[in-house]
Structure 1
């Protein structure tokens, strides 16, 4: 059965009109909230990333890495920052560079309770556009290479 164009458009309009459900209770304040969290970025994450990484960023152990409590640790280095953009699901997303930068900022701002490292800057569209041209062929290998003990980094607030 094929969708008629007007039915498909109506389905997308209905989905876009749905409210984005937040976390139960008030979220804990996060330090260094220079990473903007917008409703559009939250919606884009849930629509394009949440199916695998889950709405709370917990991932699927053994299959899809968790973002929760770990994503900020990649911002300690240029390579880690590039990794977040060059993971195939991110680099090959059909979202624009602007919207993808917003989603990455949402992930850092919402899923890491310690917040980003001091001095870390939000992702910008031009940075995302330049990095996503080179998607990783083996994201797992790169992730393992980037993993370093947190104790080797300066204290996070």
Structure 2
């Protein structure tokens, strides 16, 4: 049976700041992110399986990505927990804001690597995360490919 790639697109709004950066992105600002998630596998051939013909049910892929990425990041403020922004983070949290603290500089490159790790862990053993594409703006994006990281 042929290997097939399945892609689902997601969107979320997230603010972040890049501590120590030498440009405008050192300030808290937001993006309308778009995330393409592509998995690869063989379609199910068992006619008694309700998901026969599918690599993965789009609904199942949606549930994984929403739980691991979208619901966590959407309308959140993403900050590195190891920077002076921690004081701002604590203040914002105490004011009821959704603040996500990470152990890395919250660039698109680091975010996409984090997303890849989280999504991969939730996929069935016969399905592989093939690639991710994270668009920060209409003209700027980061890509992650399993083949580059094996």
Same fold, judged at TM 0.5 (above): no
TM-score (norm 2): 0.30
**Whose helix fraction is larger, Structure 1's or Structure 2's?**
1
TM-score (norm 1): 0.29
